[in-house]
Amino acid sequence: MNSEATHWSNLVGVFDLETTGVEVESDRIVTAHVGVLDAAGTAVRAHDWLADPGIAIPDGASTVHGITTERARAEGRMAVEVVAEVTATLRELFAAGIPVVAFNAPYDFSLLKYECLRHGIEPIAQPSPVIDPLVVDKSFDRYRKGKRTLDAVAAHYAVALDDAHEASADAIAAGRVAQAIAVRFATQLPASIDELHTQQIGWARDQAASLTEYFIKVGRLAPDETLDGSWPIR
């Protein structure tokens, strides 16, 4: 194993949101998890939040993560407090040099950014260093068939995910997948976490361009449309 390439995997932050929908500019946080895993993948820090998003949670979203509008209103904290605390907790990890794992990072970090702007909180403009197991897995195992959902990728790397779409379970599973990737591709990974972060910017851009080309070919996008490959935030 290339110990330099995998040194970052000895201590990783993990981050996941469950939300009212999939539109990063308009949907809201319902639950959030920010934690830290040690080298064995054990959670050594864990912060969980349940927010009242201030809008109704669509039935489809409730079906996914199990939180209803009624429960969020009865048990959730004010959204502005949750957004501020999640942002502050992530800032602390970045300030300490701890990389934060987020599966499909542009979704979670972008939605958090827009929540900050909505509530008058200074957003994290350039989250770094970030590890996105979705981007890294696609880069190192590009031609593997099958889905690349967290459930599927976790199963591929033999990582248990018992409560999919529950923020803490998803965040911890993503962190363990990142650690498994660090072991499997130790000799191919960049030598530092900062270099890995930078490499992912290019990988994500290239993956979006390739998917754009495919979607145009099969008619899912118009010839003049493109997918946004910005990473780790849009």
Task: Give pairs for 88-97: CB < 8 Å, separation 24+.
Answer: 89/34, 89/47, 90/13, 90/15, 90/34, 90/124, 90/127, 91/124, 93/13, 93/34, 93/36, 94/124, 94/127, 94/128, 94/129, 97/129
Q: What average pLDDT does this structure show over 78-102?
A: 98
Instruction: Evaluate whether 98 touches 13 at the Cβ level (below 8 Å).
Output: yes
pLDDT in tens, 138-186: 999 999 999 999 999 999 999 999 888 899 999 999 999 999 999 999 9
User: What whole-number percentage of the chain has pLDDT above 90?
Assistant: 95
pLDDT tier at 6, thresholds 50, 70, 90: low
pLDDT score of 73 more than 60: yes
User: What whole-number percentage of the chain has pLDDT above 70?
Assistant: 97
- Give the 3-state secondary structure of residue 183: helix
Decide if 202 is inside a domain.
Answer: no
Decide if 174 is inside a domain.
Answer: yes
The total number of structural domains in the chain stands at 1
pLDDT score of 3 more than 70: no
Q: What angle do CA 162, 174, 188 make, to 5 degrees?
A: 135
Decide if 171 is inside a domain.
Answer: yes
The rounded distance, in Å, linking the Cα atoms of 115 and 74 is 21
Decide if 201 is inside a domain.
Answer: no
Decide if 145 is inside a domain.
Answer: yes
Which residues constitute the domain of residue 72?
A: 3-193
Structure tokens at 59: 């039935």
**In the block, residue with structure tokens 């008058």:** 120
pLDDT score of 4 more than 80: no
Q: The domain that contains 142 carries what CATH number?
A: 3.30.420.10
Decide if 230 is inside a domain.
Answer: no
Decide if 118 is inside a domain.
Answer: yes
pLDDT in tens, 20-59: 999 999 999 999 999 999 999 999 999 999 999 999 999 9
Q: Is the C-alpha dihedral spanning 143, 188, 106, 72 positive or negative?
A: positive
pLDDT for the residue 165: 86
The rounded distance, in Å, linking the Cα atoms of 92 and 95 is 5
The rounded distance, in Å, linking the Cα atoms of 77 and 89 is 16
pLDDT for the residue 163: 84
Decide if 63 is inside a domain.
Answer: yes
pLDDT score of 216 more than 90: yes
pLDDT score of 233 more than 60: yes
pLDDT score of 5 more than 90: no
